[in-house]
Amino acid sequence: MKILADENMPYVQQLFADFGRIETVNGRKLTAEQVQDADVLLVRSVTRVNPELLALNSKLKFVGSATIGTDHIDQEYLASRNVPFSNAPGCNATAVGEFAFIAMLELAQRFNSPLKGKVVGIVGAGNTGTAVAKCLEAYGIEVLLCDPLLQQSGDRREFVSLDSLIEKSDVISLHVPITKQGEHKTWYLFDEQRLNSLKQNTWLLNCCRGEVIDNRALIKFKQQRDDVKVVLDVWEGEPNPMAELVPYIEFCTPHIAGYSLEGKARGTYMLYQQLAKVLNLTADKQMDSLLPNLWSEQLSVAEMSNERALLQLARFVYDLRDDDELFRKQFLNPQGFDQMRKNHTHRREFSALKVGNTGQTDVNWLSNLGFSGVEL
């Protein structure tokens, strides 16, 4: 069996070698010729799986995408050909949640305006939106959720409309899939009009898909509204973000919010399990065996009395400033965006770090934030 896999998918050899012969490819440049004799195709978000890509292949038994998003997959077409498909829902949700939380702490530090006391609106309350809410609520931040689809489906949480969220939130974090049709379509959800409705000093973060914000409108808006601060992990027209937009953005990253080591491993592992199920193969490998040990270091936090201390702890895990600096240097280079993604040093999730308390202050809430807690 020939397994064609994106070269940026970790742990493919460890997990899939028993199932067949693995060939790794550049997912962005994948051609129909390369795919023609594959039995299994494992992709990431940069590969458009559509009739053109599969035109020469008549033996495909499974397509897997190690991602949450599925907008790059023509699922109807796969179904019409009876090719089973699976993505990896939730695989990197914790990574995105922690990324957005860290970005908010960075903004707070940069603008000397504490996160504590602000109201954060989350648009899209699925896996990643819920993961951000979990971090924020652990820290005692008020969270508003907008998700009309979940609301209609009977989700028992409290929801608000998008207009109300915009009106009440100091910070807005976007966590919707990209959809081009229907009542709740998200393509340019934040168009010129909606951007203009943001209240003074709003912070806007986009960690879902670039086209949820009209990036041209955002340039125009930022030219008038320096009070609004923006963090972008995703960009309209990736891998070529609009150069004029970058100077207006506080923290720029190349679509790596979900790039924790755990998140990527989980993505590959979920496909391993799905392929085994579809082809009736034995999946006896464990995900934990893939990951390096937790940090041997245990950080002792005698007290966590101010936001600066929390930011220091978060920076120990992931320093967003490094990725932002690199982005500004490299995004205009040919292949710059993709190179940054390919060479990204996967960060660990909060759970990889044990925090112990030698002081009197109660820091147990750090466990709710995701750190491995240790009582001392």
Ligand X SMILES: O=C(O)[C@H](O)[C@H](O)COP(=O)(O)O
Positions marked catalytic? 209, 238, 255
Q: Does 267 bind ligand NAD (CB under 6 A)?
A: no
User: Cα Rg for the chain, rounded, in angstroms?
Assistant: 21
Q: Which is nearer to ligand X, 121 or 210 (CB)?
A: 210
Binds 138, which of ligand X, ligand NAD, none (CB < 5 to 8 A, cut-off by type)?
Answer: none
182 is in an annotated binding site: no
**List of residues contacting ligand X (CB under 6 A):** 8, 44-46, 67-69, 92, 255, 258
Q: Which of 121, 124, 210, 370 binds ligand NAD (CB under 6 A)?
A: 124
Q: Which of 8, 65, 128, 357 binds ligand NAD (CB under 6 A)?
A: 128
45 is in an annotated binding site: yes
Asked whether 227 and 309 are in contact (CB, 8 A), the reply is no
User: Does residue 209 sit in helix, strand or coil?
Assistant: coil
188 is in an annotated binding site: no
364-367-371-372 Cα dihedral, nearest 10 degrees? 90
Q: Which is nearer to ligand NAD, 24 or 151 (CB)?
A: 151
Asked whether 102 and 320 are in contact (CB, 8 A), the reply is yes
Binds 44, which of ligand NAD, ligand X, none (CB < 5 to 8 A, cut-off by type)?
Answer: ligand X
Q: Give residues 216-235 in contact with ligand NAD (rule: CB under 6 A).
A: 233-234
**Looking at residue 319, what DSSP letter applies?**
-
Q: Which is nearer to ligand X, 72 or 134 (CB)?
A: 72
Which one of the spans 56-64, 73-81, 173-181, 331-339 is the region binding ligand NAD (CB under 6 A)?
173-181
Cα separation values, 304 from 308, 355, 375, Å: 9, 11, 15
In this structure, what token pair is assigned to residue 169? 């939130």
Closest residue to ligand NAD using C-beta atoms: 126
Q: Does 93 bind ligand NAD (CB under 6 A)?
A: yes
Q: Does 134 bind ligand NAD (CB under 6 A)?
A: no
Q: Which is nearer to ligand NAD, 111 or 187 (CB)?
A: 187
Which one of the spans 183-191, 197-205, 322-330, 335-343 is the region binding ligand NAD (CB under 6 A)?
183-191
Asked whether 68 and 127 are in contact (CB, 8 A), the reply is yes
The whole-angstrom separation of Cα 102 and Cα 95 is 10
Asked whether 171 and 158 are in contact (CB, 8 A), the reply is no
Q: Does 180 bind ligand NAD (CB under 6 A)?
A: no
H runs (alpha helix) in the chain: 12-16, 32-35, 51-54, 75-80, 93-110, 127-138, 148-152, 162-168, 192-196, 215-224, 261-279, 307-317, 320-330, 336-342, 365-369
Q: Which is nearer to ligand X, 128 or 357 (CB)?
A: 128
| Ramachandran angles phi, psi of 10, nearest 5° | -70, 155
Q: Which of 38, 207, 231, 245 binds ligand NAD (CB under 6 A)?
A: 207
Q: Which is nearer to ligand NAD, 68 or 276 (CB)?
A: 68
233 is in an annotated binding site: yes
User: Total residues contacting ligand NAD (rule CB under 6 A)?
Assistant: 33
Binds 186, which of ligand X, ligand NAD, none (CB < 5 to 8 A, cut-off by type)?
Answer: ligand NAD
Asked whether 61 and 37 are in contact (CB, 8 A), the reply is no
Binds 229, which of ligand NAD, ligand X, none (CB < 5 to 8 A, cut-off by type)?
Answer: none
Burial class (CB in 10 A: 0-12, 13-18, 19+), 361: exposed
39 is in an annotated binding site: no
The whole-angstrom separation of Cα 214 and Cα 14 is 41
For the chain, the helix, strand and coil percentages under 3-state DSSP, each to the nearest 5? 40, 15, 45
Q: Which of 74, 106, 147, 214 binds ligand NAD (CB under 6 A)?
A: 147
Footprint of ligand NAD on this chain (CB under 6 A)? 68-69, 90, 92-93, 96, 123-129, 146-150, 175-178, 184, 186, 189, 207-209, 233-234, 255, 257-258
The annotated binding site for NAD(+) is made up of 147, 233, 258
Annotated binding site for substrate: 45, 67, 259
